[in-house]
Amino acid sequence: MSESIRCTLVNCNCECFQAGKINIRQCDHCKHGWVVHALDKLRVNHLYQQSQVEIVQSNVVFDISSLMLYGTQAIPIRLKILLDRLFSVLKQEEVLQILHSLGWTLQDYIRGYILQTQCEHQSSSQTSDQRFM
Ligand SMILES: [Zn+2]
Ligand SMILES: [Zn+2]
């Protein structure tokens, strides 16, 4: 991460996100989370405030989603509402592609968190793939 990413929380004057040593999603400078910093870079607030839906490209949605979903196993409800809005302008295949590349399934996303059954998934993946073909 070469660019400096400011913290977007009001009253926080942190100028640059610094990944924490224990929790990489927490800023070492100001102890706030990664997402509140990343919002600055992505100008999600700007998207939010548009009264008309602008054309949202799937790669932009991917960037935003990756900030919220990658490396986590649960989505805070406010972020999920935002993601729901962004996903609603994409085709379902695009949404599935984004979720899958970030390690989420649609079911997990709808639920709001990832169920801890990865070993089970792996051992049964062959049979379920075959079923879908
Ligand atoms: Zn901060
Ligand atoms: Zn910070």
Over its length of 133 residues, how does the chain's per-residue pLDDT go in tens digits?
A: 446 788 888 889 998 888 888 888 899 999 999 888 877 766 544 544 544 445 567 778 888 888 888 888 898 888 898 899 889 888 899 999 999 998 999 999 999 998 865 554 444 444 444 444 4
Residues 42, 63 share a domain: no
Measured in angstroms, how far is the CA atom of residue 35 from the centroid of ligand 1? 10
Which amino acid type is present at position 19?
Answer: A
Domain of residue 32 covers: 1-46
Q: Where are the beta strands (DSSP E) in the chain?
A: none
Structure tokens at 63: 């960037």
Which ligand lies nearest to the CA atom of residue 10 in the structure?
1
Measured in angstroms, how far is the CA atom of residue 66 from the centroid of ligand 2? 19
Measured in angstroms, how far is the CA atom of residue 39 from the centroid of ligand 1? 12
pTM of the model: 0.48
Residue 116 in any domain: the answer is no
Residues 66, 21 share a domain: no
Residues 34, 7 share a domain: yes
Task: Report d(CA 118, CA 32) in Å as an integer.
Answer: 30
Measured in angstroms, how far is the CA atom of residue 56 from the centroid of ligand 1? 28
Task: Report d(CA 100, CA 87) in Å as an integer.
Answer: 14
Residue 83 in any domain: the answer is yes
Our count of domains for the chain comes to 2
Return the pLDDT at 106.
Answer: 93
Residue 122 in any domain: the answer is no
Which stretch of DSSP H or E encloses residue 129? helix 118-132
The set of long-range contacts for 92-101, using a CB threshold of 8 Å and a minimum separation of 24, is 94/58, 94/61, 98/58, 98/61, 98/62, 98/65, 99/65, 99/69, 101/62
Measured in angstroms, how far is the CA atom of residue 18 from the centroid of ligand 1? 10
Residues 65, 39 share a domain: no
